[in-house]
Amino acid sequence: MLLRTEQLTKHYGPITALDRLDLEIVPGEIVGILGPNGSGKSTALRLMLGFLRPSAGRASINGHDCWDDSVNARTHVSYLPGELRLYENMTGRQLIEFLSRLRQYALDERMPQLARTFDIDIDRPLAQMSSGMKRKIALMQVLLPQTPLVILDEPTNTLDPSMRDQLLDQLRASAQRGQAVLFSSHVLTEVEHVCDRVAILQCGRLVHWQDMRALRSVRRVDVQLSRAIDGLAAPAFVKALQVNGLNMQFEHTGPLPELLRWLAELPIAELNIEPMGLANIYQHYHRMNGTTP
């Protein structure tokens, strides 16, 4: 097990920022943490990195306790914080080279390749870069070492849509190389597209684990009928059927041909079939708590 937390808890006086988090991550998988501000996402990441001392429980990376043996634990991690503080008297190249010497890893042809992928001039002074450009430099120094574990806190903040897609591609490539990736996000679509599993936090507690492969096999079907049907008998593969006049909504899991054969027998005016997605699951928990993404 590369990363494990056991009943990981953090109190700030009477406030519980994280409550008994149990989490395990293995090499080669991408895990997302979802939740609104104040749900405990950043606190969990900082505890895993040994930046905060847990009030109870423990976290370990590659067998090293994240608090008692934090230096050795962090040798296995590359980390992108949510709020950047960079040395702005350097160029992007100078910062990356400086950090590579600190971490004792050799830079190679991947640095110019990644700079081209992110469309960034690494010889430009950081003081002259926009917030999005600075985040690209920070992402490069996280991705280049190819550590066993990559932890990112809101990594796509300030990135434009095309650069978000490029970053998600890089995270997939990292997982294919056997690295584990853990990142927090507010953006449901990017979590849906790239993650293998997703943890949903609410008020510091883990309220739901979602296997994304299983979720992607579930489809939401919206049907607009051209005329009413008396005594409609839905087959067994139709779940959570809702009928409102000529509009019909339901969930489907299984092979598409059997669904399409059944739909072909109905008087359909409009049809929409799409993956279920995380939105309904997320809103189930956070609407109950009065929060939204």
Residue 133 in any domain: the answer is yes
pTM of the model: 0.85
Block mean pLDDT (10 aa), the chain, length 293: 97 96 97 92 96 98 97 96 92 96 90 95 96 94 96 91 92 97 90 94 95 88 92 87 92 90 94 87 71 46
Question: Do 60 and 26 sit in the same domain of this protein?
Answer: yes
| Per-residue pLDDT, 293 | 45
Residue 24 in any domain: the answer is yes
- Domain, as residue range, for 256: 217-283
| Per-residue pLDDT, 292 | 44
| Per-residue pLDDT, 151 | 97
Q: What is the torsional sign of CA 61, 67, 69, 71?
A: positive
Residue 139 in any domain: the answer is yes
Question: Do 221 and 197 sit in the same domain of this protein?
Answer: no
| Per-residue pLDDT, 97 | 95
Residue 172 in any domain: the answer is yes
Amino acid at 234: A
The CATH number covering residue 138 comes to: 3.40.50.300
| Per-residue pLDDT, 201 | 95
* CA–CA gap between residue 195 and residue 190 (Å, rounded): 8
Question: Do 54 and 66 sit in the same domain of this protein?
Answer: yes
